Chain A
Amino acid sequence: MLRFTKYFSGALAVALGAGLAGCVEPYAPDVISAPNRYLVVDGYINLQGVSTIRLSRTKNLNEPVPPPAETRATGYIQDDAGARYPLYEVGGGTYASAFLTLSPARQYQLHLHTAAGRDYDSDPVAAKPAPPIDNLTWDRDYAGVHVYVSAHDATNATRYYRWTYAETWEFRSAYPSAYVYNRTTGVMEPRTENINLCWVSANSTAIPLSKTTALSQDVVANFPVISLPENSVKLSIGYSVLVQQYAQTPEEYAYWEKLKKNTEEIGTLFDPLPTQLTGNVHCLQDAAEPVLGYVGAGAVTERRLFIDNHSLPSSIRFQTGYETCAPPDKVLLSDVRSYFTNPTSLPLYALYDPGSGAVIGYAGGSAGCTDCRLRGTNVKPSFWP
């Protein structure tokens, strides 16, 4: 569809390019604090599996702590026939149902009872199982690497799509380490565990959305879900993404669209006016209490894509995330003890005397530049080829 905000940010780009010195700077307002901490309901009712609901509270803008979790609440999912499926607290404000198989023909709602004694209901919503993802492809242009999703619904029933995704990528630390310094014995031992090659995963934070209501068929053709700079560290060795597809009701789509507009598509010349968005959850004791979040119901479909760095031009200089690493230190044998006793310094490789070939010391790097486990895991994910 026509995406205005793209144009508007482009307008700014042209303004910049044409010699207007448009600029964006960080802005910290005087302390703004909300009068209350409102309940936030994040999750959806899964027709095929475990439904997970996270309850938290809003926090003030400048508070560096994560939003406080809402614990010790109880709740259940209820269908329009009255059947109830309880939720169990799994800790940290997260509540889960048992593995459920729910009928897509029914309507569902969530009921919550907080420790403070207040009751909340979400509006009953129609269940919308998502059609399968037909294809997940990628290409590369001047703006970077893009991942496209294609799907269709022959019954024309879906129309409103939303995606989430989980990215995983392989990366290397700046320096491989062949040795471990045994601090108790003071002996340099060969390292058996690879701490140079790791994998890291991240969940989507953006909200990719698309609707096909303007099309004659319910077809999503090559919708760009993810765009990466072509030199992104994510693409430097191997990249994989699991895209999950949700079907939505028009109301749920409108909610996510507003949420996206409020927090993503702004900062342009022609900003949409922000909206005081809440969702479909209401407090039964006080209808005026804002409750944030939209609880939909559906079944997710998913598909995975791999991008190998061999399929990208070798001329690309990938970011590594280790650009600021200093060159390794040369640590002479006499200094080994004092240098490597500090756990933030790791031995890399042995240094030899060019003449005699004897070990005269070890190269030393900081753990942050050497141990990839500080940023990910060195356990290869099961799905990795």
Chain B
Amino acid sequence: MKHFYALILLVLLGASSFRSYGQAPEPLVSGNFQGLSVEAFARRLEAQTPYRFFFDSVAVRGVLLTVQAQGQPLASVLQQALAPTALRFAIDEEHNVFITAGTAVSTALLESYFRGAPGAAAAGNAPAAGPVGPAAPAAARGTDSPARLYEIGAAGAAGTGRATLAGHVREAKSGEPVLGAAVYIESPAIGASTDQFGYYALTLPVGPHVLNIRGIGIKNTQRRIVLHADGQLDVEVAEDITALKEVLIEAEKDKNVAGMQMGLERLDLKTLRQVPTAFGETDVLRVVMLLPGVKTIGEGSTGISVRGGATDQNLILFNDATIYNPSHLFGFFSAFNSDLLKSVELYKSAIPARYGGRISSVLDIATRDGNNKQFAGTGGIGLLTSHLTLEGPLAKGKSSFLVGGRTSYSDWLLHTLPSQALRQSAASFYDLSAHITHEFNEHNTVYATGYLSHDRFKLATDTAYAYDNRAASLKWKHIFGNKLYGVLTGTGSEYQYRITNDKNPVNASALTFGIGQVGLQADFSYFHNATHTVEFGGSTLRYRTAPGTLAPLGSASLVVPDALPREQAQESALYASDQINLTPRLAVYLGLRYSLYQALGPRDVAQYAPGEPPSPGGARDTLHYGAGAAVATYHGPEYRVSVRYALADNASVKASYNRTRQYISQLSNTATVSPTDIWKLSDAYIRPQVGDQVALGYYHNFKHNTIETSVETYYKAVHDFVDYKSGASLLLNHHLETDLVNAEGKAYGVELSIKKITGKINGWLSYTYARSLVRVNPGTPADRINGGEYYPSNFDKPHDVTLVGNYRFSKRFSTSLNFNYSTGRPITLPLATYVIGGAERVYYSDRNAYRVPDFYRVDLGLNIEGGHKVKRLARSSWTVSVYNLTGRKNPYSVYFKSVDGKISGYQLSLFGQPIPSVTYNFKF
């Protein structure tokens, strides 16, 4: 009974990171342990107590333990048992017992802490229970030590009131900033999260505190401070190695409930790695597609729809630089090398005010900073691709580099195939990323990122395709003081493609398209006090597009050079937001972004009869705008508001409303995103897209915050997104406006999700009911689609169930299982057939009136880690996976085709049988 109460107490107390940890009475151990190995001993103690034991099995090999205990405290039993051996132990407040050879590990806990009286500058750094012999001095890493008492600000300064403490949290080994870590004190409960730079700021009462730092992939860390006045405290935390995975996963704890953000999905590298994919390649976008609220049109496509939005409504940022085409090899791979990534954040609703430019979502992909202490590398070898990443210090502790590359050998594979048609084909890609961090001093840090991806393919036809993404960003972070810091960011992105056709010399030609953008933005964060956190800033962005150029190739070509005039536009925005913690239960985020867009000359704009939609041949006049003249101006506010109310420590309700504006559209009249889609800037005829979304969510955590549940519901309306008239021609169209129509969209849905983030079994299960509808109802009846009524968009797949599960057999073996079911996507089917020109033809139904059969897929993966010795030349791991385990032939599309004059129905499946793959990853 006593144990039971202790357990209850533990659960309740541990429910929130911001809650105090109570010193639960240590469990009593009884038993006669005779000549047991350490493993067996630990197993028996684990059975009796809620404690978990960690030790290096090599170090304890051959050690036999003997002890008799009758209702004795755990620590005393351990002490007795280990005393005759060279083993030492330590217990932390997480109920973990660490048995080590020689010296006990520091669990970073202080006796004074457990007495609940922080502040006394006790010199000892004894772990929870006194081990035999002194614990290892945790101060081994310089002066950064949990034992040390940090005096912040000049002692004797105003001894009352509050002061602001700010600084960076970095990983001790690599010097990388730790983002999203919670930095908090428990009494009173005041906390903050580190931002993308690992920066935090807290306004605390002056006096002694114990500062707790918890985060993904780091060990829980504490610092004892005495705060006299505003000051800085940088904290280095140890990387959490695999043996301590439990702690690693517990890190995010109650963010789900206590955080302000809703509709945010955050993925770390570990989650990305364990999800099985079609070619064994860790793939950011593939995992994003498994998140609730994210849909794709099919398996071989990286175009995603977030909450019913279009594929061009997602802002994909790679270290703040926009990436226009995030895919390789027809969309089978995403264009990001996962080795470099630190985290991936997807904002589905409540998009913070600092982001703008796209309606549906923000996918923020951040790279790690390079290791600024020592040279290191990671790499992987897979069936179709290989990748290598190197990192190291440029100036020790101050600056670092991170360079990664990835390349495919699909070209070589193709040439070995028996089919001559395939041997004549070529398909290859590579991508390169580089990231440099330099810290000038504690107030100024510069980050530079470069990104390049290239795809080239020539199929058995006479046409060769190539496309490139280029992006770069340069960030300067300046800390003005404890309460204010700013980041100045310059970005540049470019996307272009080139299609060449040289088989027939008379028609030989090259078609090119390009878009580029250069932007500058300044973002400031101001930690006014514990109640107000203010962010503000501004940005401006210059777009330039070369919408299409056709040029002859070779002297025999009769192709007339044709070029659509270049277009340019300027998009600027100012924003401010304030996160107000009104009461400990109620917090409000108020944000406003105001964006201004101008399509700029030089440009000739066709004028159509007033009140009439643009129609071919309907142009009455052409108006010329000079260089820099505003051809069209659009502007408007974008509201970003959210509210959180904590119902209890483990439950909260959040609501948000946001408006977003988008001034650039992707034009594609294929159902999926293809590499040859073009981007079109808003102009006099193409109005910007405006989206409104309201969302409401309920969040509840169970079992010590290890199980997160949430229900989110949303309604979204999109105005003026671009759709096409039937049979529109989008390439080299000098009067594109005559083929486009403005459409209205609405989407609504409910997302239910259960996440288990810790334990041997972890993963998530989600169910989504979502609708996505479109209406094209322009003035002329002929241009109406489906009679001007709402019809399902290509992404309207109402029911979706996704399970992403991982089961860890041991520290070295784990299996992952994906299960995905969704309603089939809408398609247009033939209603009737008829004969014209001697062949059977079809008359189609209303657009998207039917659906392909339901989608269902199971993937299985096995991850095998090499040894976990920290000191080893290289750490390696194997991933074996089978994609589409059941071999179900999920229809990618259904179509009716006239073959030899007869209409027949076909269904096309891309991955119609199980696809096994093996990947070898290494790290040194």
- Considering the chains assembled together, what is the distance between the CA atoms of A219 and B711 in angstroms? 63
Whether the Cβ atoms of B384 and A18 lie closer than 8 Å is: yes
A320 in the interface, Cβ–Cβ < 8 Å? no
Binary A-proximity of B452-466 (CB < 8 A = 1, otherwise 0):
000001011101010
Q: Does A28 contact B (CB under 8 A)?
A: yes
**A72 close to B (CB within 8 Å):** no
Are A276 and B895 in contact (CB-based, < 8 A)? no
B670 within 8 A of A: yes
Residue of A14, A33, A37, A56 with most chain B CB atoms under a 10 A cut-off:
A14
State whether A217 touches B906 (Cβ < 8 A).
no
In angstroms, how far is the closest chain A Cβ from the Cβ of B490?
A: 35
**1/0 contact trace for A8-26 toward B, CB 8 Å?**
1011111101111111111
Q: Does B36 contact A (CB under 8 A)?
A: no
- In the complex, whether A164 has a CB less than 8 A from a CB of chain B is yes
Bound form: Cα–Cα A13–B845 in Å: 29
Q: A22-B908, A221-B504 are in contact. Are A214 and B560 (CB under 8 A)?
A: yes
Identify which of B332, B842, B847, B901 contacts A15 (C-beta below 8 A): B332
Determine the chain A residues whose CB is within 8 A of the CB of B839 once the complex forms: 204-207, 263
- Determine whether B511 belongs to the interface, using a CB cutoff of 8 Å to chain A: yes
Report whether B905 and A28 are in contact in the complex, using a CB–CB cutoff of 8 Å. Answer: yes
In chain B, positions 869-924 with a C-beta closer than 8 Å to chain A are: 889, 891-898, 900-901, 903-913, 915
Q: Is the CB of A292 within 8 A of B834?
A: yes
Query: Which residues between 530 and 545 of chain B lie within 8 Å of chain A, taking CB atoms?
Result: none
Using A15-B300, A29-B829, A267-B893 as known contacts, say yes or no to A67 and B834 having CB atoms under 8 A apart. Answer: yes
- Residue B694 CB within 8 A of the other chain: no
Find out whether the CB atom of B897 lies under 8 angstroms from the CB atom of A266.
Answer: yes
A22 touches B910 (CB 8 A): yes
Q: Looking at the complex, which of A73-81, A191-199, A254-262, A298-306 is the stretch in contact with chain B?
A: A254-262
Residues of B within 8 A of A18 (CB): 384, 410, 413-414, 427
Contact B894 A27 (CB under 8 A): yes
A34 and B421 within 8 A (CB) = no
Residue count of chain A within 8 Å CB distance of chain B: 79
Contact yes or no, B463 A34, CB < 8 A: no
Query: Which of A57-65, A359-367, A371-379 lines the interface with chain B?
Result: A57-65
Tell me if A23 and B830 are in contact (CB < 8 A).
no
Contact between chains at B850 and A38 (CB < 8 Å): no
Q: Does A272 contact B (CB under 8 A)?
A: yes
Residue of B nearest to A290 (CB): B843
Contact status B459-A14, CB under 8 Å:
yes
> In the docked arrangement, what's the CA distance between A66 and B833, Å?
10
Verify if A1 is at the interface (C-beta below 8 Å from B): yes
Measured in the bound complex, the distance between the Cα atoms of B830 and A329 in whole Å is 48
CB distance B421 to A143 under 8 Å?
yes
A14 touches B509 (CB 8 A): no
A residues within 8 A CB of B562? 214
A10–B330 CA distance with the chains assembled, in angstroms: 11
B139: chain A residues within 8 A (beta carbon): none
Interface contact B459-A20, CB-CB below 8 Å: no
Q: Which residue of B lies closest to A287 (CB)?
A: B781
Contact, CB under 8 Å: A272 / B669: yes
Residues of A within 8 A of B905 (CB): 26-29, 61
Contacts of A383 in B (CB 8 A): none
Given contacts A23-B889, A276-B726, contact A14 B504 (CB under 8 A): no
Interface string of A201-244 (1 = CB under 8 A from B): 00111110000001111010110000000000000000000000
Determine if A99 is an interface residue (Cβ-Cβ < 8 Å): no
A34 CB contacts on chain B under 8 angstroms: 831-832, 843
The residue from B384, B427, B901 contacting A205, defined by CB atoms under 8 A apart: B901
Shortest distance from the beta carbon of A213 to any chain B beta carbon, whole Å: 9
> Which of B87-95, B364-372, B671-679 interfaces with chain A?
B671-679
Asked if A277 and B726 make an inter-chain contact with CB atoms under 8 angstroms apart, the answer reads yes
A322 contacts partner chain B, Cβ-Cβ < 8 Å = no
Residues of A within 8 Å of B842, CB to CB, are: 61, 262-263
Does A92 sit at the interface, judged by CB under 8 A? no
Q: Decide if A263 touches B896 in the complex (CB within 8 Å).
A: yes
Asked if B424 is an interface residue, CB under 8 A from chain A, the answer is yes
Could you tell me if B836 and A1 are in contact, using CB atoms closer than 8 angstroms? no
User: Given A42-B837, A67-B835, are A269 and B892 also a contact pair (CB < 8 Å)?
Assistant: yes
B459 touches A10 (CB 8 A): yes
Q: Is B841's beta carbon under 8 Å from chain A?
A: yes
Query: Which residues does chain A contribute within 8 Å of B425, judged by CB atoms?
Result: 10, 13-14, 17
Closest to A257 in B: B727
CB pair A58 B837 closer than 8 Å: no
For the complex, what is the distance from the CA of A261 to the CA of B504, rounded to whole Å? 23
The CA of A273 and the CA of B725, in the complex, are separated in Å by 11
CB-defined contacts of B844 to chain A, threshold 8 Å: 262, 274-277
Please, how many angstroms separate the alpha-carbon atoms of A7 and B836 in the complex? 27
Residues of chain A lying within 8 A (CB to CB) of residue B195: none
Residues in chain B near residue A258, CB distance under 8 A: 726-727
Asked if B507 is at the interface of the complex by the 8 Å CB criterion, the answer is yes
Contact B499 A2 (CB under 8 A): yes
- Closest Cβ of chain A: how far from B307's Cβ, in Å? 22
Contact A37 B726 (CB under 8 A): no
Are A143 and B894 in contact (CB-based, < 8 A)? no
Instruction: Check A264 for interface membership: any CB of B closer than 8 A.
Output: yes
A176 in the interface (beta carbon within 8 A): no
Nearest CB in chain B: distance from A369 CB, A = 22
| Cα–Cα distance between A327 and B451 once the two chains are bound (Å) | 67
Digit string of A88-103 for contact with B (CB within 8 Å is 1, else 0)?
0000000000000000
Chain A nearest Cβ from B504, distance in angstroms: 6
- Chain B neighbourhood of A290, CB < 8 A: 843
Say yes or no: is A4 at the interface (Cβ < 8 Å to chain B).
yes
Give A150's nearest chain B residue, CB to CB: B506
- Enumerate chain B residues within 8 angstroms of A292, measured Cβ to Cβ: 834, 836, 841, 843
A40 touches B463 (CB 8 A): no
Task: Name B832's contact: one of A24, A38, A257, A270 (CB within 8 Å).
Answer: A38
Kindly report which residue of chain B lies nearest to residue A60, judged by CB atoms. Answer: B832
8 A Cβ contacts from B475-525 to A: 499, 501, 504, 506-507, 509, 511
- Interface flag for A134 (CB, 8 Å): no
Q: By the criterion CB–CB under 8 Å, are A10 and B461 in contact?
A: yes
Q: Say yes or no: A14 contacts B908, CB within 8 Å.
A: no
If the complex has contacts A2-B509, A13-B460, are A262 and B504 also in contact, measured as CB distance less than 8 A? no
Q: B550: CB under 8 A from chain A?
A: yes
* Any A CB within 8 A of the CB of B559: yes
Q: Is the CB of A61 within 8 A of B831?
A: yes
Alpha-carbon distance between A292 and B507 when the two chains are bound, in angstroms: 33
Interface: B136 (CB within 8 A) = no
29 residue pairs of the A-B complex, CB under 8 angstroms, read: A7-B463, A11-B330, A13-B419, A13-B460, A14-B457, A15-B910, A17-B414, A26-B905, A26-B906, A27-B905, A40-B834, A56-B834, A59-B833, A61-B905, A204-B839, A205-B839, A215-B507, A215-B559, A216-B559, A222-B506, A257-B727, A263-B839, A263-B840, A270-B672, A270-B674, A273-B847, A276-B845, A276-B846, A292-B836
Given A17-B419, A37-B832, A222-B506, 20 new contacts (CB under 8 A):
A2-B731, A6-B461, A14-B425, A15-B910, A17-B422, A21-B913, A21-B915, A22-B909, A22-B912, A32-B830, A33-B832, A38-B834, A58-B834, A206-B839, A216-B558, A258-B726, A274-B844, A275-B844, A276-B726, A293-B836
A-B pairs, 4 with minimum CB distance: A10-B459, A205-B901, A221-B506, A205-B839
